[in-house]
A = this chain, B = another copy of it.
Amino acid sequence: MIRPATDEDWASIYPFFSSIVAAGETYAYPDGMSIDEARPWWMEAPPGRTVVAVDRDAIVGSAKMGPNRPGRGSHVATGSFMVDPRYHGRGVGRALCTDLIDWSERAGYRTIQFNAVVESNRAAVHLWQSLGFRILTTVPEAFDHRTDGLVGMHVMHLPLSGPASRGP
């Protein structure tokens, strides 16, 4: 089940947010942020949105989404995903990304762009591809992976079939 995140949810998101950042394999966030420092990096205000994936009473993942750029770039959505490592392999990432796609279509975005998908994060790359995303390019050596060293980051892209482009 995916629902919008509340302020109270941040205390449940931060533990896996911080462990994923510390693992150094998937995201370029500042290192070692406290729970208060990290909050604005993940908890989005409108027109953006942060959601949580809930399994029974546990928050098992989270996504943030919104315009990729302001102004004349604001018809392009983007998103980021964190799944609690204890809940990998259960479809949480797929559910979160499907929610991003549905929300972006409803909100009238024309495309979704991921700016920085670490190429060695193959499970995520394959998942986004299975949902229709295409790799536009791989920026060489753009991510300093904790164990693999410098690896590329994919720019990934999904055109949406929103109301404006649907036929009569």
**Chain A residues within CB distance 8 Å of chain B:** 21, 24, 27-31, 68-76, 110-111, 113, 115-116, 136-137, 139-146, 150, 153, 155, 157, 159
Contacts and interface: CB of A to CB of B under 8 A. Distances in A.
Number of copies: 2
A149 to B, nearest CB: 11
B155 A139 contact: yes
Given A113-B139, A136-B137, 4 more contacts: A28-B70, A76-B139, A115-B115, A140-B159
B31 A71 contact: yes
A24 B155 contact: no
Contacts of A136: 137, 139, 155
A91 to B, nearest CB: 27
Given A115-B115, A136-B137, A137-B155, A28 B73 contact: yes
B73 A142 contact: yes
